[in-house]
Amino acid sequence: MSPDAPPRGLLVIAPLHPSLAPEGQAASAPAMAHAVFRAARARSAGLPGLVPHYLGAVPAGLPGFVRSSGTVLAGTDAGATACEGEAADETLMIVRRHDPATGLANGWILALKFREFLRAGGFDLVLVFAGAPVGIEFGAIVRSVLPAARIFEVLVPQSVPVAAPAEAAADTGEGAGPGRSAGDPAPAAAAVARPDLLARLVRGELARKADGVILLAGAELPADLAGAARVYRAGDPAECLEIALGVTPARGDGSTLPGPPGP
Amino acid sequence: MSRGRFLGKAYRSWFPDLRTNGGGTGKAEREDPRGQAFDVAAHFRDHGRAENRHLAEPLTGAADVVLVSANGTLLVSGWLDDTFQRRSLLEARLPKLVLRMSWHEVDVPPSAILRTGRADVTTARGLLEEARLGFLVLMRLPEDVPPSDRLAIGVRHETNVTPLTEVVPRIVSEGYLVSYYLGFFHGLEREPHHPAAAIKAHARHGGALGALWQAHLAGAAGHTVLDLRSRDPGRGVAGTPAFSAITVVHGQVDLLHRQCVTQFPALAALGGEILVVSNHPPFHAQVQELCRYAHAAFDVPVRVLAMDGNVGFSRANNLAAGHAGSDRLVFENPDVFPFAKTDWPAFARRIAALGDDEIVGGHLYFPDGTVMHAGMVVESDPMPVRVRPGRGAGPDADGALPDPLPTGALLREDHPHKGAHDARFAGLGAPRPFPAVTGSLILVRRALFDALGGFSTDYVFGCYEDADLCLRARAAGASVTCDPGLRLVHLEGGGGGEKLPAVRGAMLYNRILFTARNAGRLPG
């Protein structure tokens, strides 16, 4: 990327925000995503062509969070999230009607606002961190709105809880999903325990909308994504950013998963 | 050995049609066609020994369920212990049932009565043999007999009517009555040689059920339309979509959700419009919400037709075809999805090249990659005994004679390659002709579809109407082919869970109807 190149917009979509996530989890998805965002911000200081933006997806029922009266994209100011006083390039998206069982969303107002947000941002590069309480089809929405953008799905170690959408939605019934009332038991556990060929099919189909999957250190590739997308492995957030920007050649050829890193 | 004393008077008292002519001598005679006289002792020797265990039991019966629809169709389900009146325990003689309702007396036509096995009654009555003590009546009440809240059921003996029971009928909708009857129809599968039992039921009640189904369709055809057109002004040519994809949803909103993020955006990207028919009113709001989502998230041009009731697969698709903005129709099930082998450019080319006189299907797969459908054939399953359907209900309301019911075999639509590995079709590039293709994916021009009258609405709920359409198209000179270039995943109803008894009953009912209508169209 040369200094004369046109600006490139980078959007990081992640669950929550470090200021909202539990402390002491340095490897959590919000922390890792924000680390990538800060790395991009630092890089843009010396490379003005890169314009990063952080979009934190927040379940509407998140305990302690100010409850929204509707499904909106809420811009934050410095006071709201106290994010080092630099929140102009950070946005919180309050998510309703995300179904953790299917991994899909169905709030049409949210989708509409998300499209408007993407059009206004004109992003060239989008990183969607797994675990964000948005539907897995949000990558496909990005592809629909920004057909030329590069899209990566970033996976973090699953041992670290990134969000509890089912729990967060319990008090509002947001996670009930179609065909079930809010009073019905959450189907997440049963749905996960039962092999759901269709869910894998849909997830694989949507993964093909992305340009690749980046595995951060310790993350495992889910079976449903094997063969559905090009896979890269990154040791840390900085390397993740490098792979996404295409500055550093990815380990492996990108079409197959390289072997585990050596000692 | 001493001899017992025959109780002639007591024996005679059980038979009011026996008339004595010898005072207290025990001599009796009965009016019969031959004019022969006999005494009661002789009668007992001739007839009573085999039947005397029932002598203490007068004719007994009861009605378990009595339903009346608003259009005057009556369903009575019950039992009747008339074993004494039968010559043989294994050969049913239809009793002469009489109904009294709204100050009218109505004789039930024997052709409207179906005798069935009732193991519970047989056990309770202490019978050893499996007598067919159950009965089911489905008939239209005469026009001058309105449904009322009292119904008396009796059995006619010559001029006398023995009352059996008096019940309070339940007034139900036509759709409910159709479902109830088909649930019973499904229960016939417990009968020995159930296809024969089903064919007999079809012979007796097919006409009434068909009229009932049509009455339901007429009452449930109302609908509202939610129109969500594309926001992209450059899509389509002067607002005309490249094709119209039609999906009928009946409660499978989870599948619709997944279609909204995979199938519909892909079809919209090819320039198509989506028409979704919601056939289950309790889910209308969710179906509309999901379609709003597909529209908002992926700019899918979609219209939702929310029906007043479940009008079945055929009527819903026919109705949506009438709303289609394109003359190229794509019928697809709500459990059809794209996968890695789906070639959307090939899909678009095939739709664009769709001829005026052809019906085209595709290759459908299970999620594990094995073949679900690669063309459909019609098989004939011989029955072990030749069925005598018996007297049917006669001409229908329009005066047309019903189709001759099958007697020796039942037709069945079959997917011959189901479960095969896809490698079997490697290198197969050209479409192949088949007798039929599944309604899960059908491409057809509207002119041909209209000329054929669309899917036949005589098939209740859904099943066999796709093969029926294809056979009619072939008979009219059109071609039916299966194109291996059209590849999608089909769950084959697996997403809908266990099928309800009424739906399973409808499948059997439709199979008999399909056989009656199409046996003559097939060679051999």
Using one digit for the tens of pLDDT, what is the confidence trace for B117-146?
Answer: 888 888 887 776 667 888 999 999 888 888
Chain segment B148-166, per-residue pLDDT in tens: 778 899 888 667 788 888 8
Chain segment B503-521, per-residue pLDDT in tens: 889 999 999 999 989 887 7
pLDDT at B497: 53
Read off the tokens for A75: 């811009």
Rounded CA-CA distance B79/B118 in Å is: 8
For B94-184, where are the E strands, in sequence order?
97-101, 104-107, 113-116, 134-140, 151-157, 160-167, 170-172
Rounded CA-CA distance B513/B405 in Å is: 8
Q: Is A178 on the interface with B (CB under 8 A)?
A: yes
Q: Do A201 and B296 touch (CB under 8 A)?
A: no
- Provide residues of B within 8 Å CB-CB of chain A: 251, 253-258, 260-262, 265, 283, 286, 289-290, 292-293, 295-299, 337-340, 367-368, 489, 491, 495
Beta bridge partners, B136, equal B77, B114
Rounded CA-CA distance A12/A29 in Å is: 11
Q: Is A208 on the interface with B (CB under 8 A)?
A: yes
Model confidence at A5, in pLDDT bands (50, 70, 90)? low
Q: Do A108 and B297 touch (CB under 8 A)?
A: yes
Rounded CA-CA distance B247/B335 in Å is: 9
Rounded CA-CA distance A162/A100 in Å is: 13
Min distance B372 CA to chain A CA atoms (Å) = 15
Query: Per-residue pLDDT for B45 more than 90?
Result: no
Contact B320, B275 (CB under 8 A): yes
Of the two residues A255 and B5, the one the predictor is more confident about is: B5
pLDDT at A161: 39
The whole-number average pLDDT for the span A186-202 is 50
Query: Per-residue pLDDT for B406 more than 80?
Result: no
The whole-number average pLDDT for the span A177-197 is 36
Min distance A146 CA to chain B CA atoms (Å) = 11
Name the residue among A62, A68, A99, A66 with its Cα closest to residue A182: A99
A-chain CB neighbours of B258 within 8 Å are 102, 104, 198-199, 202
B-chain CB neighbours of A201 within 8 Å are 337, 339, 367, 489
pLDDT at B86: 59
pLDDT at B25: 47
Task: List the end-to-end C-alpha distance of chain B, in Å, as a whole number.
Answer: 68
Percent with pLDDT over 90 in chain B: 46
Helix (H) or strand (E) holding B67: strand B60-69
Q: What totals of helices (H) and strands (E) does chain A contain, helices first?
A: 8, 10
pLDDT at B476: 95
pLDDT at B394: 45
Of the two residues B200 and A252, the one the predictor is more confident about is: B200
Rounded CA-CA distance A109/B257 in Å is: 16
Query: Per-residue pLDDT for A203 more than 60?
Result: yes
Percent with pLDDT over 70 in chain B: 81
Rounded CA-CA distance B85/B297 in Å is: 71
Model confidence at B376, in pLDDT bands (50, 70, 90)? very high
State how far the alpha carbon of A152 is from the alpha carbons of A162, A223, B321, B339, B350, in Å.
18, 17, 40, 20, 33
Chain segment B192-212, per-residue pLDDT in tens: 778 888 888 998 999 999 999
Chain segment B83-121, per-residue pLDDT in tens: 766 544 444 455 688 998 888 889 999 889 988 888 888
